[in-house]
């Protein structure tokens, strides 16, 4: 039978070991931080594309039901009209406010224009 005798007072980590671990963690954080902003911008751009696709689908559904697109200043009818084509108007992912996208339609042309501020999603 072997007996283990505790020699010394070694109950934790030494200061040097802790400094090395903190240094490694700081280096990893320093390497990952520049990429974080890119991921955030890419996710906002993805949300913007999804919101535009949803708005475009709602406009097409409105046109198939009513025969024409809503007038430029009356896009809110997609949310408040009967039937409702959107449960709520899409949110602008840059500032979490109601979207400030421009919508333009000239009656009788059959074409509409969604104006989006892409500058907010470009990489610096």
Closest listed residue to residue 54, CA positions, set 21, 38, 78, 81? 78
Q: Is the pTM higher than 0.85?
A: no
Query: Which structural domains are found in the chain, ordered by start?
Result: 15-121 (3.30.700)
pLDDT single digits (tens) 67-116: 888 877 677 888 888 889 988 877 778 777 666 666 778 777 777 777 65
Provide long-range contacts, Cβ within 8 A and 24+ apart, for 34-41. Answer: 38/123, 41/121, 41/123
Six-digit token string for 42: 């890419």
pLDDT of residue 20: 96
Q: Model confidence over 45-65: pLDDT tens digits? A: 888 888 888 888 888 898 899
Instruction: Name the pLDDT band for 19 (thresholds 50, 70, 90).
Output: very high
């Amino acid at each position: 039978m072997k007996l283990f005798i505790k020699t010394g007072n070694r109950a934790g980590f030494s200061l040097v070991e802790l400094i090395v671990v903190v240094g490694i963690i700081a280096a990893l954080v320093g390497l990952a931080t520049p990429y974080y902003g890119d991921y955030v911008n890419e996710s906002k751009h993805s949300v913007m594309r999804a919101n535009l696709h949803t708005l475009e689908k709602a406009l097409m559904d409105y046109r198939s039901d009513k025969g024409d697109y809503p007038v430029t200043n009356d896009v809110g009818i997609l949310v408040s009209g009967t039937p409702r084509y959107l449960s709520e108007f899409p949110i602008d992912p840059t500032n979490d406010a109601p979207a400030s996208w421009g919508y333009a339609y000239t009656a009788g042309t059959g074409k509409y224009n969604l104006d989006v501020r892409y500058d907010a999603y470009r990489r610096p």
